[in-house]
Chains A and B, each alone.
Chain A
Amino acid sequence: MKFIPDKDILLFKSCLVNVEYPGVESSTCYIFDRIDVDYYVDEKQSCCTGLGHYYDLFDQISTTALAARNFHLAAETGHKNIAVMCATCYAILKKSAKILNQNEEARNKVNQILDDSNLENREYTQGDMDPTLNIFHVAEIFFNKRDEISSLVKVDLSGLRVATHHACHYCKVHYNDTIEGVRDPNLIDKLAKAVGVETIGWYDHKSVTCGAGFRQRFTNKEASLAVTAEKLQALKDNKVDLLLHMCPNCQMQFDRYQPYIEEKLDTEFNIFHLNISQFIALALGADPYKILGIQTHTVPIEPLLKRLNYSLESNEKIDVEAKKSPN
């Protein structure tokens, strides 16, 4: 397996984590702090262009030039390894690094753009960023340290029926770099196992897209939500309580639109949605509001916490073992 670092990491900010599920970032930091991952967040880092890129509004050279600037920021602060919380950042940054390394004409063009922008010192030299050995999803960093995570578990989540949704832009774009399965992805299933939760594993539609499809959600809403609805139905057929995510765009598609789809189809799915970082942080005893950020979710997480015997009023976790009846 490829080498996965635990130091010199730039935790790459994601536009959708920023404003949709910021708790994914605070949960990631919470976990990193406890498993001794050395990381840094850079306020100067720009967005990867994600939504605009796959809407085809951005051209590839503009996206790549912005990536080169971000790669330089990572290197100049001594954080050459990039860890992303969004699968589309993952796909775009790897693609840009590949272009910069393999396509001399494009590299020269990008460097000319940087020169023209008075950023000569930010020029990209072939090999500066290795797409395979320097760019990771945070889930991979967790996976590499899963034994340490296991040793820190404080909350028993094993009573939940859990399934996983592995983001397409992590699994299927640069599939030679994907760990723990492409067509039958199991990366987050194994992370759930590390915190004591056996997922349902394979289910019909497991590897199918969330349905967002970038422009599709906006311009072709019926087709987009039909894909989401089919996956939700497959999860309901498997009596799933909670779906785990690794991409904020997928999480939006399910969490924001599940009530809408329920109303349209006159059905109830009653499935909770958490990012893998939020789920691990929960298992490690993090506060649902101050770390997980469940207040930004559309499908309320409070009923799930009640099942876990959380006292929401006091914001304090009640020891699951202690709550069990003595008889």
Chain B
Amino acid sequence: MKTIKLKKESVQLVKDVLKDIKASPDLGIYKCVQCGMCTSVCPGARQTDYDPRDMIRRVLEDDETVIDNDNIWNCFSCYTCNSVCPCGNNASEINQILRQMSIDKGEGMKKIVSFTAYGDSFMELGVGSIPSNFFDVMVKDIGPGYMDLKINIEDIRTDLGLGSYILPEKAIDEVESILDNSGFKDRLKKIKRCK
């Protein structure tokens, strides 16, 4: 039987994963028994070559190539793996950590550059919006009624007794300032450069 041998010097990647801000204090990656429950319930695994069990194995074996492996971008972030894991591991959370590592290294930026307009809108309005490149496809797929909805949304909200969804100016300034000081603004600039 093949077992995963954890050598002392071969646990750098798993240590980095556990140190990440996203990693829950009780994240049970060391308890993984490679049972495969995660992969068996995974919509990404059903539709693509993504395999959360294999991703966890590679992290435990300190295989850094997993970070830039294209398959990690096929996770649906549905956390079904998390909800069935008998060991308290969370493949979905680890996936998100690996994606951030890939972004930090540079390669992963190509995967998110298509969504940068969402960040711009967030800083302008305090709410994100779907980038126009994707929005155009949605109008085509859903139909012209979808465009009408977008044009009339403020009137519809008024009819429903709801106020404007755009934040007051002072609140937007606060949000923008937070995103400037958190490094998000710079991050967005860097991501845009890889276009």
B residues with CB within 8 A of A:
21-22, 24-25, 43-44, 46-48, 73-80, 82-84, 96, 99-100, 103, 108, 111-112, 114-116, 118-119, 122, 126-130, 134, 137-138, 141-143, 145-146, 149-150, 153, 156-157, 159-165, 167-168, 170-171, 174-175, 177-184, 187-188, 191
A: number of interface residues (CB 8 Å):
81
Q: Which residues 250-271 of A sit at the B interface, judged by CB distance below 8 A?
A: 256-257, 259-260
- Asked if B116 and A57 sit within 8 Å, CB to CB, the answer is yes
- Asked if A172 and B177 sit within 8 Å, CB to CB, the answer is no
Q: Which residues of A contact B163 (CB under 8 A)?
A: 41, 43
- Asked if B160 and A52 sit within 8 Å, CB to CB, the answer is no
- Asked if A98 and B108 sit within 8 Å, CB to CB, the answer is no
- Asked if A65 and B74 sit within 8 Å, CB to CB, the answer is no
Q: Which residues of A contact B137 (CB under 8 A)?
A: 218
Given A46-B175, A47-B122, A113-B178: A207 and B80 within 8 A (CB)?
Answer: yes
A residues with CB within 8 A of B:
13, 15, 18-20, 22-23, 25-26, 29, 41, 43-47, 49-52, 54-62, 64-66, 69, 91, 98-99, 102-103, 106, 112-114, 116-119, 168-169, 171-173, 175, 182-183, 207-209, 211-216, 218-220, 223-224, 226-227, 256-257, 259-260, 289-291, 293, 295-296, 298
* Cβ contact of B111, chosen from A56, A60, A208, A260, cutoff 8 A: A56
- Asked if B122 and A49 sit within 8 Å, CB to CB, the answer is yes
- Tell me, rounded to whole Å, the shortest Cβ–Cβ distance linking A34 to chain B: 15
Q: Which residues of B contact A182 (CB under 8 A)?
A: 83
* Cβ contact of B80, chosen from A46, A62, A168, cutoff 8 A: A168
- Asked if B181 and A117 sit within 8 Å, CB to CB, the answer is yes
- Tell me, rounded to whole Å, the shortest Cβ–Cβ distance linking B58 to chain A: 19
* Cβ contact of A216, chosen from B74, B82, B103, B126, cutoff 8 A: B74
Given A62-B182, A213-B44, A220-B48: A46 and B127 within 8 A (CB)?
Answer: yes
